[in-house]
Amino acid sequence: MPSAEIIAIGTELLLGEIQDTNTRYLALRLRDANIDLFRATMVGDNPQRIAQAIAEAQNRSEIVITTGGLGPTVDDPTRLAVALAVSVDLEFRPELWEQIQNRFVRFNRTATENNKRQAYIPTGAIAVENPVGTAPAFFYETGSKTIISLPGVPREMEYLIENRVLPYLIERYHISGTIKACVLHTSGVGESQVDEWIGDLELLTNPTVGLLAHPGQIDIRVTAKASTTAEADRMIAGLVEQLYQRLGDHVYGSDSDTLEKVTRAKLVQLGWNLALVEFGLGGELLKHVKDFPPAEPIQIYSEAVDSAGLAAALHQLAAQTGVQVVLGASYMPGPEKQTVIIQVLTPAGISEAVRSYGGPPQQGLPYSVNTAIDFLRRALLSSTAKG
């Protein structure tokens, strides 16, 4: 199985002016193609630094993929950087210049002289036409190693990956098999507790199990390598079943599921409407439940209250509106820990939880919001069970 590295190029990435979405896309597609990704790097628009990054990546991996820096301006250095990395000159390709001019004609525009820079690629490189943009891509082969340089525009990069790069890599490296992954989402339990419950599974080599912690949520990633997609699916399914058995209703969903999506679906299934009252959260909880049925009436207070004050507010709101469910949360930040009181009123009665968070203070609100929604989810499940 070949290994790969990604180099995202652009000073605007280092300055935080735009977000690098290309690396995530490439990582997912390489994974699905059974290509191991060893490292991802971000480099500014400096040809010497890019060339150094490429040379170092080639020492570690068979495949180096660069994104960005193929535009027509003087600060688009990838072509020169690749030439420096492999010690060749740039050469003009008339056929690329013709393709670029034709593309501009299709866009009802005229190519300018600086666009001609895009027709220069490292001597000996394999030119790759870009039918959805003006920046040609190219492959450069050195023995068993390959440098693949792609435009940074996501739509163009994605088209070339699907239609040119992956077919090329599969043929060149005789790649077979696949890598698939599934992510289970848990809430209402800490990372150390999850690790204690499933630590033995985290030692497996195929499938593999890994944890990723978020405020109020722990993700469990299951990844399998197999010769066929069906085999990988079977491997993942068997392990996921074990995880569900061990974690129970701490697991609220998988992959694209969110706490909001799952909890909203439960409300809709029950045919219940939700009212909300929050204290000290600054409207953050409202942002996450605004699409719940009907998400009104809503009361937001700036100051926190104690458990008795929160309960009184819930009962008052329920009496005023006649909704079946009222969610309430009171957030109390502190110098060492953040505390949130959560209460849910349903036809089955009122339930309460008091949770504390000792992590970074700026994560206290996200933790409290996720914890409150998860507590609502559990209250709905409990009401269903009692019914």
- The domain defined by 259-386 folds into Maf protein (3.90.950)
- In this prediction the pTM is 0.70
Let me know if the fold of 3-172 is the same as that of 259-386.
Answer: no
Neighbours of 3 (CB within 10 A): 15
* Distance in angstroms (rounded) separating the CA atoms of residues 349 and 351: 7
Query: For residue 274, is it left (φ>0), alpha (ψ between -120 and 50) or beta?
Result: beta
pLDDT tens, the chain, 387 aa long: 799 999 999 999 999 999 999 999 999 899 888 899 999 999 999 999 999 999 999 999 999 999 999 988 877 899 999 999 999 999 999 988 988 888 787 767 887 778 888 889 999 999 998 888 888 999 999 999 999 999 999 999 999 999 999 999 999 999 888 888 899 999 999 899 999 999 999 999 999 999 988 888 999 999 998 888 899 999 999 999 999 999 999 999 999 999 999 999 999 999 999 999 999 999 999 999 888 887 566 888 999 999 999 999 999 999 988 899 999 999 998 888 899 999 999 998 999 999 998 888 888 899 999 999 999 999 999 877 655
Strands lying side by side in the sheet with 208-214: 208-214, 217-226, 178-187, 251-254
- Angstrom distances, CA of residue 53 to CA of 7, 19, 44, 50, 112: 8, 20, 11, 5, 31
What residues are paired with 6 via a beta bridge?
40, 65
Q: Which CATH number fits domain 3-172: 3.30.420.240, 3.90.1300.10, 3.40.980.10, 1.20.1740.10?
A: 3.40.980.10
* Distance in angstroms (rounded) separating the CA atoms of residues 109 and 115: 12
Q: Which pLDDT belongs to residue 112?
A: 78
Q: Which pLDDT belongs to residue 117?
A: 86
Q: Which pLDDT belongs to residue 386?
A: 59
* Distance in angstroms (rounded) separating the CA atoms of residues 99 and 112: 13
Q: Are 205 and 239 in contact (CB under 8 A)?
A: no
Classify 60 as helix, strand or coil: helix
Give the alpha-carbon dihedral of 62, 63, 66, 71, to 10 degrees.
Answer: 110
* Distance in angstroms (rounded) separating the CA atoms of residues 342 and 352: 6
Cis amide linkage into residue 131, ω under 30° from 0: no
- The domain defined by 178-254 folds into Alpha-Beta Plaits (3.30.70)
Concatenated DSSP letters for 161-228?
Answer: IIIIIHHHHHHHTT---EEEEEEEEEESS-HHHHHHHHTTGGG-SSSEEEEEEETTEEEEEEEEEESS
Per-residue tokens: 318: 């329920």
Q: Which pLDDT belongs to residue 299?
A: 85
Which candidate, 80, 1, 83, 3, places its Cα nearest to that of 40?
3
* Distance in angstroms (rounded) separating the CA atoms of residues 7 and 224: 25
Classify 139 as helix, strand or coil: strand
Please state the domain extents for the chain. Answer: 3-172, 178-254, 259-386
What contacts 312, CB < 8 A, 6 or more positions away?
none
Q: Which pLDDT belongs to residue 296?
A: 63
